[in-house]
Amino acid sequence: MINPWVRERFALTALEYPIPARSNRLDFMLGALTLVALTLLGVTGIVLTQFYDPTPLGAHESVRYLITSLPLVTFVRDVHVWSATGAIVLVFTHLAAVFWRRGFRRPREGLWWSGVLLLALLLGLALTGTLLKGDQEAVEALAHAMAGAQVAGPLGAPFQPNFTPSSPLLTRMYGLHVAVLPIVLVTLLSLHLWLVRHLGVSAGGDARTPFRTHLRPLGGLALLFVAVLAALALAAPAPLLAPGVEGFEVTKPFWPFLWLYAAENLFGLPGMLLAPAVLFGFLALVPVADRRDTRLAAVTRWTGVLLFVLIVVAIIYAAVAPGQAHLNMKM
């Protein structure tokens, strides 16, 4: 199908390496679809940086300006926000699928750990992205981030306003969002993809199908995914609240953090900090704890299932429960 001249010059024969036939199933394409969402986030994010003012007083106004004055840029922003949702849904589903088929077992422990770090980075990007709007939700998220950082001691110092008085915290969060975290993400992603290429996916069976055949269904799903995201962006644009007022908590966080909100409702600030520690601690230990044909393997699997269900239940609970103020803020 591809011209031999092009195939030779661009080394496309490298795409002929064999993979198991089952790799063409949807549950083996979730990682690649996450990559599509991340690419969309990168491209739309670059556009948004041209219009965003990362100063405490200019942030909200610049977002408001692009929503009310720039039709194309506001569509790009809506795609950016929906891509973030898509990426987080896909990465959680990818994680659950890999966990269920025990794709973390030898020799893929590094693949698993890099994936766990990528999940943490993605949540970091979602948090810093939320802060940038400068609206009430952003101010409340920033207050929670600062409270959490305070507990972390010296490690959390960069998240305190007085860490570098010459630069506002919001501007530093912007730096994290558009430079530091993306650079770390791309580095880890490169490692992750390199490991996928050389260790293969945990699909089982003989690797007989050329990887090239994988690209067609993957491309199809990617196009459908883009269509869905664009439709959502058009039908349900991302909202903007009024400029934030410090000291109040009247909103709920971006949905990927609702499980932390639920934990904070139940256990206060320690709950908000312990919940992610438990999740990421468990995920980090999974390849170590899971030993073939042992009772511990079954315990690990069902603990993971329990944690997954708990997170889903906590998100639903936090979404429907009445709003609650934390950190001595007012409602």
Partner 1 sequence: MKRSWRGTSVVTGLAVASFSLLAPQIDAHEKGVLKLRTRQLVPGDSVEATGQRFSRRATVTIVLVGIAGRTRLDQVRTDSLGAFRRALVVPADLSPGSYRVVVVAADGDEVASVDVSVVARASAPMSSHVHEENAPTARPLALARARSPLVTGGALAIIALTFVGGVMLLRRSPTVESTPNAGGKR
- Which positions from 287 through 326 interact with partner 1, judged by CB under 8 A? 323
Q: If you search the block for the tokens 């050329």, which residue do you land on?
A: 210
Residue choice 14, 180, 234, 288 for contact with partner 1 (CB under 8 A)? 234
CB of 135 to partner 1, least distance (A): 8
The total of other beta-carbon atoms located within 10 Å of residue 278's CB is 13
Instruction: Evaluate whether 37 touches 233 at the Cβ level (below 8 Å).
Output: no
CB of 180 to partner 1, least distance (A): 21
Instruction: Evaluate whether 47 touches 78 at the Cβ level (below 8 Å).
Output: no
d(CA 232, CA 37): 14
Binding residue count for partner 1, defined by CB under 8 A: 67
Distances (CA, A) of 66 to 4, 48, 60, 70, 310: 46, 9, 10, 5, 38
Residue 101 within binding range of partner 1, rule CB under 8 A: yes
DSSP secondary structure, 157-209, as one string: GGGSTTSSTTS-HHHHHHHIIIIIHHHHHHHHHHHHHHHHHHH--S--S-EEE
Distances (CA, A) of 113 to 39, 103, 125, 185: 22, 11, 18, 13
**Nearest residue (CB) to partner 1, 68 versus 187:** 68
CB of 183 to partner 1, least distance (A): 26
Residue 119 within binding range of partner 1, rule CB under 8 A: no
Q: Which stretch binds partner 1 (CB under 8 A): 36-44, 117-125, 240-248, 260-268?
A: 240-248
**Nearest residue (CB) to partner 1, 154 versus 165:** 165
Nearest to 221 by CA among 3, 27, 15, 11: 27
**Nearest residue (CB) to partner 1, 131 versus 181:** 131
- Interhelix angle for 109-131 vs 136-151, to 10°? 130
**Nearest residue (CB) to partner 1, 217 versus 276:** 217
Residue choice 231, 288, 312, 319 for contact with partner 1 (CB under 8 A)? 231
Binding mask 25-64 for partner 1 (x = CB under 8 A): x-----------------------------xxxx-----x
Instruction: Evaluate whether 125 touches 185 at the Cβ level (below 8 Å).
Output: yes
Residue 285 within binding range of partner 1, rule CB under 8 A: no
d(CA 195, CA 199): 6
Q: Which stretch binds partner 1 (CB under 8 A): 2-10, 85-93, 174-182, 231-239?
A: 231-239
Positions that interact with partner 1 (CB under 8 A): 21-22, 24-25, 55-58, 64, 66-72, 74-75, 101-105, 108, 136-137, 165-166, 168, 200, 202-205, 209, 213, 216-217, 219-227, 230-231, 233-234, 237, 239-248, 250-252, 323, 330
